[in-house]
Amino acid sequence: MVDQGIERVFMTEREVRDVVARLGREITGFYRRQDDLKLLVIGLLRGSFVFMADLIRHIELPLTVDFMTVSSYGDATISSGNVKVVMDLDEPVEGKDILMVEDIIDTGNTFNRVIGLIRYRNPRSLKVCTFLSKPSRRTVDVHIDFCGREIPDEFVCGYGLDFAQKYRNLPYVGIVKP
């Protein structure tokens, strides 16, 4: 079923599932070696909630979750790099092993700022997981530890990603009609 308003499917439901399962295995393998693990998985709302819900069920380790909402100032489609914390975390970060989860890293501006905020709170370790990445759009360098898939410069939606707040509920990733 392809939704009205979607030009074509970019990643099928099956492809999405395979990518998320692979990331879960990578993350499990990475943290399994660590003694006294205090894994706190932090999702950036709203885009990451669908991905993160699936991802944590593929991480076979004890963990806790928290969420944070940030918004960019100014133009909605061009990331300015100035972020405002709209809803902060409930959990302290200090001394924990933080895994930041994002839906898509585009210019890298938003995530770069958020990583700065988290690092300032002295986690024991800080790793980054993103479902999608558009490397050709990057304006600031963001180190990604676990990347679902690199994609070309196209606007995608579904699986948590929105276009004007719509399409987050699509089980696949699609490209919006122009």
Position among 157, 159, 160, 170 found at the interface with ligand IMP (CB under 6 A): 157
- Of the ranges 29-37, 45-53, 56-64, 148-156, which one interacts with Mg ion (CB under 5 A)? 45-53
Which residues, 6+ apart, have CB-to-CB distance to 53 below 8 Å? none
Q: How far apart are CA 74 and CA 97, in angstroms?
A: 33
145 is catalytic: no
- Of the ranges 10-18, 34-42, 44-52, 123-131, which one interacts with Mg ion (CB under 5 A)? 44-52
**Total residues interacting with ligand IMP, rule: CB under 6 A:** 16
Position among 43, 47, 123, 158 found at the interface with Mg ion (CB under 5 A): 47
Q: In the stretch 116-155, what mask flags binding to Mg ion with x, by CB under 5 A?
A: ----------------------------------------
